[in-house]
Structures are given as structure tokens and as C-alpha cells.
Amino acid sequence: GDSVTQMEGPVTLSEEAFLTINCTYTATGYPSLFWYVQYPGEGLQLLLKATKADDKGSNKGFEATYRKETTSFHLEKGSVQVSDSAVYFCALSEGDKIIFGKGTRLHILP
């Protein structure tokens, strides 16, 4: 079945560093792809999305491009802030269902 694999955490970076969190997927169809974020003590929030190949999702300085040829949807940010510390989940949609990766915990040091 469909699945999502993302890099293991935790990832620890200094403020203003460049961030990449890798995500690859396996799907039989043409899923939509998502990044969700879970800040400490809060619920899951949609960070960005892409619905077809070569689409780029972006929000709050984060970007991810839907790469069908490499089945990837890597999350990037040019300059991270302490407030970006959270758990990030890569996900794909299969009809009404969402399949999540295991999550990557990100720590940003001041």
C-alpha cells in the first residue's frame, strides 16, 4: 500500500541555519502531498501542500516541491527560527485517507 518515509529525528540546528527534512513516498496513484506541523502542546496543523507533480507548496518561509520522478517532497527553509521547533509530519492523501510519516522532531537553538 501507499506509504511515507521521512528522515529520522531529532534534528538540531542553530538559529538562521538552512533546514532540509527529507520525505519520500510510495503510491500507486497520484496523491496530494502535505507537510503538517505539531508545535509543543498544540494540535496538528497543515503547513503546506502540493496537489500535483512540480507543484511547490510554501508557507511561513517553508517550501516543498512535488517531485514525481524521485517520489519526494522534501521540506526546506532558508533560515530557521527558534519558534520553528516542532514535530514535522510528511503525509499523502489517498482518497479521503491521509497516510503520515513517522514525524521529525526539530530543535532550533538560539
List interacting residues with another protein (CB under 8 A): 32, 36, 42-46, 49, 51-52, 89, 93, 96-98, 100-103
Neighbours of 95 (CB within 10 A): 7
H helix or E strand, kind and range, residue 5: strand 3-6
CB of 79 vs another protein, minimal distance in Å: 27
CB of 71 vs another protein, minimal distance in Å: 18
- Whose grid coordinates read 506541523? 37
Nearer to another protein by Cβ, of 51 and 81: the residue is 51
CB of 31 vs another protein, minimal distance in Å: 9
String of b and e for 38-48 (b: at least 16 CB within 10 Å)?
Answer: beeeeeeeebb
Nearer to another protein by Cβ, of 19 and 99: the residue is 99
